[in-house]
Amino acid sequence: MRSELNEICLIDQWLLHQLSEGEARNFETRLLLDEAFAEKVEAQRICHRLIRHYARRQERFRLEAIYGLLLEEAGFAHQLNTIFT
């Protein structure tokens, strides 16, 4: 892999707590001293968050669809009507 991708891989390992104690210490020292590197780490942290939020939104759409589907089942809809009337 080219060096930029190797760096992305290293940042990922740190974000996912996959580095050894020594490697993590070296990483964190670099994080303190190298501003450009720190910016890349922050951007990659944001990437992880965006992926999580995107995925959760997809799952919420799926759950809404399941709810809609179940409301078409007479037994399920009847139970909810009984509870809320």
Partner 1 sequence: MTKQMEDPIIQLYRDSFPDVARMIRRKGGTLEEAKDAFHDALLIYMEKEKSGRLQLHSSPKAYLLGTARICWLRARGATVALPETFDAAEPEDVDMEEREQSLQASLIRSGKKCIELLKAFYYDHCPMHDIAVRFGFNGTRSATVQKYKCLEKVRREIKINEAYAQ
Angle, nearest 10°, between helix axes 74-83 and 35-71?
100
25, 56, 72, 74: which one contacts partner 1 (CB under 8 A)? 56
24 binds partner 1 (CB under 8 A): no
Please, which residue, 25 or 67, has the CB nearer to partner 1?
67
State the Cα–Cα distance between residues 3 and 52, nearest whole angstrom.
Answer: 26
Please, which residue, 25 or 48, has the CB nearer to partner 1?
48
Size of site (CB under 8 A) for partner 1: 35
Q: Using only the alpha carbons of the chain, give its radius of gyration.
A: 23
The residue with tokens 């922050």 is: 42
How far is residue 45 CA from its own chain's centroid?
9
Binding residues for partner 1, per CB under 8 A? Answer: 1, 4-5, 8-9, 12, 40, 43-44, 46-48, 50-56, 58-60, 62-64, 66-67, 69-70, 73, 76, 79-80, 83-84
